[in-house]
Structure 1
Amino acid sequence: MGAQLMPYLMSEDARAQADFYVRALGGEIQSVMTFGQMPGAPEEMADKVMHLAMTVAGGSALFFSDGGPVGYTRSISLSLSYGGEAEAREAFANLSDGGDVKHPFAPQPWGAYYGEVQDKFGVVWQIVKQL
């Protein structure tokens, strides 16, 4: 039995970030649990997301939570590999909306199309389409 990697993003606004990824990459929010659903949660955390599960880009899983401990590192880079160039270009363009293109999506000497963008939530996405 092997392990499965499940990216878990600490967010400042998990609902808005998940909604953006649904529009940008296609997908669906599977479930949302708030801190208020847990006994003894502080009132100021009641509407904050404790756990949000979603699928994007054909079924890849992503999890989210609002916040994290003070000083918690929020740096992450996610890579999506596509079979079609048009689909990869669309994802790159969608994720670039409000973000910062670090490397334009273009053919690379190593035999793939590649682009890198930091989305408006600070997540770096590497979009790949093998040649």
Structure 2
Amino acid sequence: MAKLTPYIFSEDARSQAAFYTEALGGEVVDVMTFADGPDPNPEYKDKVMHLSFKAAGILFYMCDSLWTIERGNGMALLLEFSTEEEAYAAFDKLAEGGKVIDALKQQFWGAHFGQLEDKYGVTWQVMTEMKVPEPS
């Protein structure tokens, strides 16, 4: 059995992680710079080699990228919340400084769903748990 953990490459991992922990509620758990590793390259010594943070009850990993980041449209991070209030709060905070692709709203399949690109270029989908109709 495997466990999936989002790993985000960043141009500024510290500030991006702070944004997510503020938006989703959480905390930075650990930060390791290249200076903490063996034989650090002075050019990268202050860059984040590995950062872990918890937000919305999920563990994320992140690092400062040593190459140019090119975000694509082939993947999004999906957050599913048990209440509309949680979903709307997270959506609004993640959208600050970014752009809404599809506003969070009630969908025909029984959940609220919306999509945005945050100010760091990461695509997020936010939804509520599907409400299964009660049998009559």
Q: Place the TM-score, normalised by the shorter chain, in its bin.
A: over 0.9
Structure 1 length-normalised TM: 0.92
User: Percent identity between the aligned chains?
Assistant: 44
- 2:22 match: 23
> Displacement, 1:39?
2.1
Consecutive unaligned residues in structure 1, runs of 5 or more? none
Instruction: Give the secondary-structure state (helix, strand or coil) at the position aligned to 1:50.
Output: strand
State how many pairs are aligned: 128
Which residue in the other structure is 1:39 paired with? 38
Aligned equivalent of 1:108: 107
1:97 alignment counterpart? 96
Q: 4+ residue stretches of structure 1 with deviation over 2 A?
A: 70-76
The gaps in structure 2 that reach 5 residues or longer are 132-136
Structure 1 or 2, whichever has the larger Rg, is 2
Distance 1:63 1:115, change over 3 A: same
Matched, 1:65 2:39: no
**Which structure shows the higher strand fraction?**
1
Distance in 2 separating the partners of 1:64 and 1:73: 15
Taking structure 2 as the reference length, the TM-score comes to: 0.89
Q: What RMSD, in angstroms, separates the aligned Cα atoms of the two structures?
A: 1.3
Q: Tell me, what secondary structure is at the counterpart of 1:111? A: coil
